[in-house]
């Protein structure tokens, strides 16, 4: 995806360039060795605010971040109609914090053909896939556990769950525990007659 494609979709302007908007791209403030504040752009899908991959730094060259984010399939999935509470997309990066991702599928970026490595685990069904988690959200289309995705800050335990899914797709953790998905509380139908209301009141 080139910069014009990102502009056509939901994008944000960073240092004069259009970058695909993503709820998982975070900003982390640190202090450099010389005492000056340093603001880093972090890929939350690669480990969260404390452990995520550094995409770029404010005030420095961010062309690599632009290419990486504009090619990533995760924003489309999170903005899609079936974006779900139980979806935990992850994106492992190879090498150190500043290396580019390794390839499993090829997509177009501003620098030509570059790889994207993204997975879309579900808190309910990740135990069925092991290390080979889904590469798209097709399994979500008819899922009985689907629930509209709320704002990220309202999802309990999201970053620990992200790190767990990363360990699974990397083969660093065996799946031994039961699924951790959320199920909306069932709603009881409203009572229609006086005797139904009475039965409900006395818990019959």
pLDDT tens digits, residue range 164-185?
A: 999 999 999 988 666 666 665 5
Establish if 177 belongs to a structural domain. yes
Higher pLDDT, 5 or 156: 156
The distance between the two most distant Cα atoms of the chain, rounded to a whole number of Å, is: 76
Establish if 148 belongs to a structural domain. yes
pLDDT confidence of residue 175: 81
**Nearby residues of 134 by Cβ (< 8 Å), 6 or more positions away:** 119, 120, 121, 122
Q: Of 31-40, 62-71, 187-196, which has the strongest mean pLDDT?
A: 62-71
Establish if 190 belongs to a structural domain. no
C-alpha span between 5 and 65 (Å, rounded)? 15
- Convert the pLDDT of each residue in 37-60 to its tens digit: 999 999 999 999 999 999 999 999
Quote the number of domains for the chain: 1
User: DSSP of 59-79, one letter per residue?
Assistant: TS--HHHHHHHHH-SHHHHHH
Confidence of residue 98 (pLDDT cuts 50, 70, 90): very low
Helix (H) or strand (E) holding 115: strand 112-116
Q: What is the pTM of this model?
A: 0.74
Q: Do 103 and 94 form a contact (C-beta atoms < 8 A)? A: no
**Structural domain boundaries, residue 152:** 3-183
Establish if 53 belongs to a structural domain. yes
- Convert the pLDDT of each residue in 5-37 to its tens digit: 544 578 999 999 999 999 999 999 988 888 889
Establish if 204 belongs to a structural domain. no
Establish if 191 belongs to a structural domain. no
Helix (H) or strand (E) holding 127: helix 126-129
CA-to-CA dists, residue 12 to 119, 155, 184, 188, angstroms: 24, 24, 33, 43
| Average confidence score pLDDT of the chain | 81
């Amino acid at each position: 995806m080139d910069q014009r494609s990102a502009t056509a979709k939901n994008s944000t302007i960073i240092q004069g360039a259009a970058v695909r908007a993503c709820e998982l791209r975070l900003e982390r403030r640190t202090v450099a060795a010389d005492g000056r504040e340093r603001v880093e752009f972090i890929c939350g899908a690669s480990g969260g605010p404390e452990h995520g991959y550094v995409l770029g730094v404010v005030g420095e060259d961010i062309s690599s971040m632009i290419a990486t984010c504009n090619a990533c399939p995760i924003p489309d999935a999170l903005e899609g109609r079936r974006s779900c509470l139980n979806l935990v997309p992850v994106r492992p990066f190879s090498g150190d914090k500043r290396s580019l991702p390794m390839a499993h599928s090829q997509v177009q970026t501003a620098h030509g053909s570059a790889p994207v490595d993204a997975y879309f685990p579900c808190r309910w069904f990740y135990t069925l896939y092991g290390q080979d988690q889904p590469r798209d959200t097709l399994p979500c289309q008819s899922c009985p556990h689907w629930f509209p995705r709320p704002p990220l800050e309202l999802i309990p335990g999201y970053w620990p769950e992200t790190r767990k899914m990363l360990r699974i797709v990397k083969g660093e953790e065996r799946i031994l525990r039961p699924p951790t998905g959320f199920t909306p509380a069932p709603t009881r139908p409203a009572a229609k007659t006086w005797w139904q209301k009475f039965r409900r009141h006395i818990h019959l």
